[in-house]
Structure 1
Amino acid sequence: MHRTLTGLVIVAALCLSACGTPAQDPPAAAGKVSITVTGQPPTSQAVERKLFDQEVAEFEAANPNIDIVPHEGFMDPKTFSAKLAGGQLEDVYYVYFTDPATIIARRQAADITEAAKDLPVLRQLQQPLIDIFKDRTGKLYGLPTANYSMGLLYNKTLFAKAGLDPDKAPATWDEVRDAAKKIAALGNGTVGFAEASKNNQGGWHLVTWSYAMGSQIARQQGEKWTADFNNSKVKQALQQLKDMRWTDGSMGEKQLLEATDLQRMMGAGQLGMYLAAPENVPVLVKEFKGRYEDYGVAAMPGGHATLLGGEGYMINPKASPEKIKAGLTWIQWKYLNPDRIETQIKRYLDEKQPIGLPAIPTPDIWTGDVRARQTELKTKYANVPQKNFQSYLDGNTKLKGNLEPPNAQQVYAVLDSVMQGVLTNKDADIDQLLSDAEAKVNSALAQVK
């Protein structure tokens, strides 16, 4: 998963236009290097498309020897290898944080170690994020451009109505359960806590729960991956969900939900809490008529860990040295340019977009002076209540960030059934659900190369 809770749906929709046979790109003018790049928003995202195209024009004006040929969309893992084999893969392409290890092992990305060694961003970005794009020998094959971590999104208005402190989010799972009961007791169809359980989103969230309880999902021994979730910590997470669903009645009767269901309920003021990254908040406001002041995001309860995701860009292994150099110039200018942070913020502000949310419009991937400057600028131009997200930022400094498991989508599909079993069957056997899932996940992990 990436970007928002609706990542699967968005990527699938984008790939309808981006992942088929692309139109022939125009040749570069004499003396110019032409590179194809992914990441152009679809026309349905009017503001984002406008800003992206504007930046392409500005980049080309500042770099007259480089032509940018943008392609809509991001990445579809199902078609990636076929595009590469067929010579259709873009020169600069988007990846989730779950992709680089496999891509590097399959030699599907260019080694950029030498070309990137003098880039100042290598000293300014968080080192663990850079390491995601390295092989075991330390060679570099891409650059991170954004990251997120899952937290607890909650409705401050419902908290106040239920007699809870709207400025103090639950910090433990017992507090989550207690708050959910009090919110559900408001009646009129109000749900205290809701959870996704289909279209791979249930599995994704169960991984998040597992990390939050201090468990892993998969462990690596040498070259082999095996399932690592059939344990007391994950059973504790599932028992909590089962108790909230069937004993407390705080999760509502309707189940088999997905991201848009949770967002619709929250936007309508009928849901107290769900797991999400802060990028969900603009979706609630823009698509479901919510208000920024009504929502807070806290760090994942429990104090152990959270799911860390994100994105970056890699370069086609068939790219010439000239294309690699041009591609790195584009990635740094467009996504990793400290000098453009204020410009990006002002443009979002001009388009009446939210300023002051974590990671929007500039990612929280920096360290040192750049991070301090970014924080200062976001505070200066904030048009949403930053205090509503401070506990998320503060709490994440104390949590371990775990990446998604390998073959994540296959793992999520298996774990969907576990989440569904607990939420739709009062008599579900948690031990049996986990044992059945363990065997299937091991089969999925056996495919990791």
Structure 2
Amino acid sequence: MYRIPLRRTVCLALTCGLIATSLAACTGDSSNGKIVLTVNGLPPKTEKANHKKFLDDVAEFEKLNPDIDIQPHEGKMDPKTFTSRLAGGQLEDVFYVYFTDPANLIAKHQAADISEYVDDFDSVKLIRKDLMRIFTGPGGAVYGLPAKNYSLGLLYNRALFTKAGLDPDRPPTTWDDVRSAAAKIAKLGGKTAGYGDYSTNNTGGWHFTAELYSMGGKIAVKHGKTYKAAFNDSLGRKVLQNLSDMRWKDHSMGARQQLDYDDLLRMMGSGKLGMYVATGDNIPIIVQQYDGHYKDYGLGPIPDGAGTLAGGEGYMFNPKDTPDKIRAGLKWLTFAFDNPDRIDHNIKWESKVGNPVGLPQPAIWTGDADKSWSAALKTYANVPRGNYKPFVDGMAQVPIRVEPPKAQQVYAVLDEAMNSVLTDEHADIGKLLDTAEADVNTILAEA
């Protein structure tokens, strides 16, 4: 992944003097009286519209804040290089993170505490509290801000619902309802699957996690300084048993299994799949890459609704940042990403460049800001917003859950359980979970 090298001010001894107290003035914290702020998250040049939008935002921000010099870098969070970049002084002052990152960075003291500064920025008070908690430490200290979010719901084919005698405006809200609807859709024939699920390349473990969360379960719980697996219980067995029953008793999941990420999108685009667990951003991919039509797809809340797997992105602050850099960083974030006054401007731009407008997420706001967001979506929508109303109405009450520690390694283990129940009618669910629990505990012991 390419990153523009961090620029540093070179301070010569002749300029700075030889005494230690003078050296502090030559750390690259300012240039020509300006606060120099390095930030990443700049989209690559191959994403022409997004790249230009980011740089245009930088130019506008600097015009409004002539005392701040933003130096944007490409690149996002890379766990493999993060620690070495931080130790080597190469980490940006304000850096991009996924929702899975903050808890670990906070625990390792690898991000700055910005609590004493956030109260000066009114827009932060309008961000959803459940999203702010992701960037909050155990003692209530704040370490960053969210920028975008998503959560999993039930993506379904409205056209197939109608053909099967189901109400396309009332998608299933429980897993029992999903099973019943899937059986009706499968009876349409023509190799149509009522419900689809993953089982390879970590996608199976990802969906096991989502479905377990929806029932109120957990993948891992903290014991002292480490985590232990928590999915080998009645809820974990229920997830796998439900899939086994749909696959082998109801025959509503189709004969072809060992599906990877693109497979379900392709099936949905071809009109051969009734439902699967997904985020709303799958819909434009199905339309643009797999010949689907926006009118045919709806989004409902995650079945059972006891929790949903959530993700997203945001920004945190280098632990070496000075107070001036933290204030400058918060000014930048509350201008470019967390700015209620630019909601209409940003959504209008999305519509102008042809991006889908009207999907139910990202949705980070509360109060008047949320009303402004909804109004802008209504004004500039180019997709059928009503198709996603069940998701919008239902998800407000569903608590969000982030991915477990060592998520990708854990998902790889859980793939095996998902694959077994979907390819072996006589799979021993208890044994599968016992094996997965032992393997995951070995992984988590190193977390």
Q: Could you tell me the TM-score, scaled by structure 1's length? A: 0.90
Quote the residue 1:123 is aligned against.
125
Secondary structure of 1:132's match?
A: helix
- Which shows bigger deviation, 376-385 or 102-111? 376-385
- Which shows bigger deviation, 125-134 or 389-398? 125-134
Is 1:260 the counterpart of 2:242? The answer is no
Secondary structure of 2:169's match?
A: coil
Identity of aligned residues (%): 51
Aligned letter for 1:155? N
Distance 2:243 2:47 in 1: 36
Quote the residue 1:6 is aligned against.
none
- What are the equivalent positions in structure 2 for 1:130-145 lying under 5 Å apart? 130-145=132-147
Secondary structure of 1:265's match?
A: helix
Note the C-alpha offset of 1:431: 0.4
Quote the residue 1:394 is aligned against.
393
- Which shows bigger deviation, 76-85 or 267-276? 76-85
Distance 2:50 2:345 in 1: 15
Quote the residue 1:333 is aligned against.
335
Correspondence for 1:40 among 24, 28, 42: 42
Quote the residue 1:287 is aligned against.
289
Distance 2:174 2:382 in 1: 30
Secondary structure of 1:59's match?
A: helix
Aligned letter for 1:381? Y
Distance 2:53 2:163 in 1: 40
Quote the residue 2:422 is aligned against.
423
- What are the equivalent positions in structure 2 for 1:82-101 lying under 5 Å apart? 82-101=84-103
Secondary structure of 1:94's match?
A: strand
Aligned letter for 1:36? T
Quote the residue 2:71 is aligned against.
69
Correspondence for 1:194 among 193, 196, 200: 196
Cα contact 1:209–1:234 (8 A) shared by 2: no
Cα contact 1:213–1:234 (8 A) shared by 2: no
Alpha-carbon distance change, 48 to 288 in structure 1, aligned in 2, over 3 angstroms: farther
Secondary structure of 2:2's match?
A: helix
Cα contact 2:169–2:390 (8 A) shared by 1: no
Distance 2:185 2:97 in 1: 39
- What CA RMSD, in Å, does the superposition of the two structures yield over aligned residues? 1.9
Alpha-carbon distance change, 290 to 438 in structure 1, aligned in 2, over 3 angstroms: same
Distance 2:48 2:294 in 1: 21
Alpha-carbon distance change, 61 to 26 in structure 1, aligned in 2, over 3 angstroms: farther
- Which shows bigger deviation, 181-190 or 91-100? 181-190
Cα contact 1:192–1:273 (8 A) shared by 2: yes
Note the C-alpha offset of 1:303: 3.3
Q: Could you tell me the TM-score, scaled by structure 2's length? A: 0.90
Cα contact 1:357–1:386 (8 A) shared by 2: yes
Quote the residue 1:345 is aligned against.
347
Distance 1:388 1:407 in 2: 35
Q: Which has the larger radius of gyration?
A: 2
Alpha-carbon distance change, 67 to 435 in structure 1, aligned in 2, over 3 angstroms: same
Deviations 1:321-376 (A, max 9, x none): 332222211111111000000001111111122221112xxx31211121122222
Secondary structure of 1:330's match?
A: helix
Note the C-alpha offset of 1:57: 2.3
Q: Give unpaired runs (5+ residues) of structure 2.
A: 10-29
Alpha-carbon distance change, 271 to 73 in structure 1, aligned in 2, over 3 angstroms: farther
Quote the residue 1:445 is aligned against.
444
Cα contact 2:301–2:390 (8 A) shared by 1: yes
Runs of 4+ in 1 over 6 A off after TM superposition: none
Distance 1:94 1:83 in 2: 14
Quote the residue 1:17 is aligned against.
2
Aligned letter for 2:65? N
- What are the equivalent positions in structure 2 for 1:16-415 lying under 5 Å apart? 16-18=1-3, 22-23=4-5, 25=7, 30-359=32-361, 363-415=362-414
Note the C-alpha offset of 1:195: 1.1
Q: Give unpaired runs (5+ residues) of structure 1.
A: 1-15
Distance 1:29 1:267 in 2: 53
Cα contact 2:158–2:297 (8 A) shared by 1: yes
Note the C-alpha offset of 1:24: 5.1
Note the C-alpha offset of 1:433: 0.7
Cα contact 2:95–2:315 (8 A) shared by 1: yes
Distance 1:246 1:178 in 2: 14
Secondary structure of 1:281's match?
A: helix
Distance 2:336 2:116 in 1: 21
Note the C-alpha offset of 1:29: 5.1
